[in-house]
Structure 1
Amino acid sequence: MKNKQLLGKVSIYVLLIFLAVISIIPFYMMIVNATRSTSEILKGFSLIPGSSLSENYTVLTDFVQIWTGFKNSLFISVTVTVLCGYFSALTAYGFAVYEFKGKNALFIFTLVTMMVPPQLGLIGFYELNKSIGTLNTFIPLIIPTIASPFVVFFLRQFASSTLHPSLLEAARMDGAGELKIFHTIGLPMMMPAVATMSIFTFINSWNSYIIPLVTLFSPEKYTLPLWMGFLKGGKVAENLGAVYLGIAISVIPIMIAFLFFSKYIISSISAGSVKE
C-alpha cells in the first residue's frame, strides 16, 4: 500500500515537473533569441545564448522608444490597479454588508454591464473625451477602468463568504465608524481577493491597445503596446533578435506580478470552501 502511495506521489511530481518545463521553454526561447542575431535565429533554436544582445538593443532603442512606453504603461497600470482594487473593494463591501432598497436590481445592472463589449462604445467614448478635452492624456486610460463590474462581482462574492456580521457588529459597538470598519476589518480580510483581481487588472491595463491607439496622439505619451506595434515594420522587423528583445522587455512586469501575487489566487479561490 505504501509503495503504491509513493509511486502515485512520484508520478504526480514527475507530471508537474514536465508541465513546468513545457511552460518555461517558450520564455527561455524568447530570452535566448533576444541575444542572437537574425541569421542565428533562422538556423533554428539553440539552448546557448548568443552574443548579439548589445547590437539588438541598439537597433531596438534607435527605432522604438521602448523605455518611454514602458514608463507610461507602468504608471498607467499601477495607477489603475490601485484605484480599481480600492474602489471595487469599497463597492463590493457595500453590496455584501448593507441592505438598502434596490440593492438586488443595482447589482443585476452591474452584472449586465459585464456582457456589453467595450468596443461598442468606442466612438461615443472618443467623442466624450473630445468634448471634455481629455484626448491625448492618460485620463481616458485611468478613470473609466476604475469601475470594473467583474472585479466588483468577484469581490462581493468573496466578501459574502468571509466577512462575518459579528465582527462588524463588534466594531460598531466599540464606536468605530463605517469607513474605519471597512479599512481595519473589511479591506484586510478581502486582500487575498483584491490581490488576485489586481493581477488581472494590471495585465489587462498593461496589454491595452485599442483605447490608447484611439486617444493618444503624441509619441512621448504612447504606451508600450503602441510602441510594440512598430516592431512589425522598418529596420526593427529586419532584426529578429531586436523583436524578441522588445517582447521580452514587455512581458517582464507581467512575470513579476505573477511571481509575487500568484499565491493569493489559491487563497482567494479556496476561501469559503470550508464551512465553519
Structure 2
Amino acid sequence: MSIPQTARYKDLNKRYKLRRSLGRTIIYVLLIILAAICILPFYSMLISSTHTNQDISTKLLLWPGNQFVNNYERLMGTINVWRGFLNSLIITVSSTVLTLYFSALTAYGFSKYDFKYKNLFFALILGTMMIPGELGIIGFFQQMNSFHMLNTYWPLILPGIANAFGTFFLKQICDTAVSHEILESARMDGCGELKAFHRLVLPMMLPSIATFGIFAFIGTWNSFLTPMIILFNNNMQPLPVMVAMTRGQFSTDYGAQYVGILISVIPIMVLFAALSKKIMNNISAGALKE
C-alpha cells in the first residue's frame, strides 16, 4: 500500500470514528432529555408535597420545602390514608393474581389446543378490547346488584379473571416460548395437563407474565370510576378515591392531596423496580430470532 493510500485510509477512519462519536453523543443527550421529561412530573409531585397551598398555587417550585409533616397531618385529619392504602392493596393484589393466572391459562389453551371455532372465539375476545369499559358500567352495576355484591370487593376483583388484553399478549408469547415438543415429552412421561401448565408453561412465560403484571397492577391500583360506583362505604374505598375526597367544594388542599398522591405512587415504583430485570430479560428475548 502506497503512502498516499495509507494516509487516506487513516483520514477516512478518523472521520468515521468522529461521526460515530458524534452520533453517540447526540443519542445520549436525547436520552438524558427524555429521562428528565419522564422524571419531571414525579419530581414536581415530590416537591409540591413539601410546600403550603399558597406556594403551590402561586409559585414555581424547584426546591423542597418544610411543610411535608403539616400536609401529612392534614391529610390524615381528612381521610384514613393507610386504610385506603390497605384497601387498594387487597383489591389490586387479588385482582392481579387472578388476571395473571387465568390470562396465562386461557392464552395457553388458545395457543396449544385445537378446537372448533377456536379462531372465532379468539376474535370475539379481541373484539371486546374495542369496547370502552365505561359503556357497560350501568349494566355492570345492575348485574352486581342482582348478585347482591354491591358495597363489596368482589366486583372489583373477580372481573380480573376475564382480561382480553392479557389473553392476547400472553398468547403471542406462548406461541413462541413454549414448544409442542416439550409438551409432548411431558405427556409421554405421564404429566397431566394442569401439571404441565404449572411446571413447564408458567416458568417459561414468567418474564412476560411479570411484564404484563405491572400493567395489570397499575391499571387496578389507579382504578377510580368502578370503586366509586360500587362501594358506598367511604372506609372501604381504595386510596385514589380517598385522595379525591380531599378536594372540597370551594377549595382544595393541594399540599395534602400531593402527599396522598405520593403515597399512592410508591407501590407502583417499588413493583417496577422489583420486576425491571424481568422486563429487560423479556425485551431482550423478544429481540432475538432463531
Aligning the two structures, in what range does the TM-score lie when normalised by the shorter sequence? over 0.9
Matched, 1:250 2:264: yes
- CA deviations over 1:228-249 (Å, ceiling 9, x no partner): 22122169x5432212111211
Give the aligned residue type for 2:79: V
Q: What corresponds to 2:34 in structure 1?
A: 19
Does the residue aligned with 1:182 lie in a helix, a strand or coil?
helix
Larger radius of gyration: 2
Give the aligned residue type for 2:82: W
The structure, 1 or 2, with the larger RCO (C-alpha pairs under 8 Å, 6+ apart) is: 1
Quote the Cα distance in structure 2 between the aligned partners of 1:92 and 1:238: 46
Q: Which of 251, 255, 259 lines up with 2:273 in the alignment? A: 259
Matched, 1:66 2:66: no
Q: Which of 131, 148, 162 lines up with 1:133 in the alignment? A: 148
TM-score, normalised with respect to structure 1? 0.92
Shifted more, 103-112 versus 150-159: the winner is 103-112
- CA deviations over 1:40-69 (Å, ceiling 9, x no partner): 334423333111111111111101222111
Which consecutive residues of structure 1, in runs of 5 or more, have no partner in the other structure? none
Check whether the contact 1:162–1:271 (CA below 8 A) recurs between aligned residues.
Answer: no
RMSD of aligned Cα (Å): 1.9
Quote the Cα distance in structure 2 between the aligned partners of 1:21 and 1:64: 33
- CA deviations over 1:86-111 (Å, ceiling 9, x no partner): 11101101111111222112111211
Q: What corresponds to 1:151 in structure 2?
A: 166
Cα gap change, 1:273/1:38 in structure 2, threshold over 3 Å: closer, same or farther? closer
Does the residue aligned with 2:130 lie in a helix, a strand or coil?
coil
Give me the identity figure in percent. Answer: 48
Matched, 1:86 2:101: yes
- CA deviations over 1:195-225 (Å, ceiling 9, x no partner): 1111111111111111111110111111112
Matched, 1:124 2:139: yes
Check whether the contact 2:246–2:252 (CA below 8 A) recurs between aligned residues.
Answer: no
Check whether the contact 1:35–1:50 (CA below 8 A) recurs between aligned residues.
Answer: yes
Q: What corresponds to 1:53 in structure 2?
A: 68
Give the aligned residue type for 1:89: A
Which consecutive residues of structure 2, in runs of 5 or more, have no partner in the other structure? 1-15
Does the residue aligned with 2:62 lie in a helix, a strand or coil?
coil
**Count of aligned pairs between the two proteins:** 275
* CA drift at 1:272: 4.7
